[in-house]
């Protein structure tokens, strides 16, 4: 009887921990949908910023705050590219596939300040670009 209670208790703890870890990572596709919603908006709605969390640990030992807008470059066609550091995922056994920096960019029309497109920037790991809960 005692063994059944202990096994049930261990299973319950395991399930709760599994749900807790799974709840931390929502998804890469969700993050892309979030960025798609910015296309057609004015970049002034996304002013250059330095994240309040830059360089600080968030959520235990596996997520660092991003730097925000890192720099702006002008493309050959005159489009401005706003480069952002969103966050950095550190090593943790539950998210090994997502280790890396989430680096994105917005391509912006310099005259209207309208966001034309976005993409994953060089040097980052696109899979680390995820929504978190």
CB 107 within 8 A of CB 117: yes
| 34 vs 73: CA distance, rounded Å | 23
- 16 has a pLDDT exceeding 50: no
pLDDT tier, 1 (very low <50, low <70, confident <90, very high otherwise):
low
Of residues 106, 109, 103, 105, the one with CA closest to residue 124: 103
| 79 vs 77: CA distance, rounded Å | 6
The model's pLDDT over 23-65, given as tens digits with 9 standing for 90+, comes to 444 677 888 988 899 899 998 776 555 556 666 666 665 677 7
pLDDT given for residue 53 in this prediction: 60
pLDDT given for residue 110 in this prediction: 93
- 132 has a pLDDT exceeding 60: yes
4-19: average pLDDT: 46
Domain boundaries, the chain: 27-132
pLDDT given for residue 104 in this prediction: 92
CB 76 within 8 A of CB 67: no
pTM: 0.68
pLDDT given for residue 92 in this prediction: 61
Q: Which residue has the tokens 């489009």?
A: 79
The model's pLDDT over 70-116, given as tens digits with 9 standing for 90+, comes to 899 999 999 999 999 887 777 665 656 667 888 999 999 999 999 99
pLDDT given for residue 119 in this prediction: 95
């Amino acid at each position: 009887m005692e063994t059944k209670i202990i096994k049930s208790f261990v299973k319950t703890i395991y399930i709760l921990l599994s749900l807790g870890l799974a709840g931390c990572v929502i998804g890469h596709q969700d993050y892309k949908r979030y960025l798609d919603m910015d296309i057609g908006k004015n970049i002034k709605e996304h002013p250059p910023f330095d994240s309040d969390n830059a360089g600080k640990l968030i959520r235990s030992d596996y997520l660092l705050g991003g730097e925000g807008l890192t720099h702006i470059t002008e493309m050959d066609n005159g489009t401005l590219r706003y480069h952002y550091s969103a966050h950095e995922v550190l090593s943790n056994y539950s998210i090994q596939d997502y280790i890396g920096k989430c680096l994105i960019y917005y391509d912006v029309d310099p005259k209207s300040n309208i966001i034309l497109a976005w993409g994953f920037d060089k040097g980052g790991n696109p899979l680390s670009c995820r929504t978190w809960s």
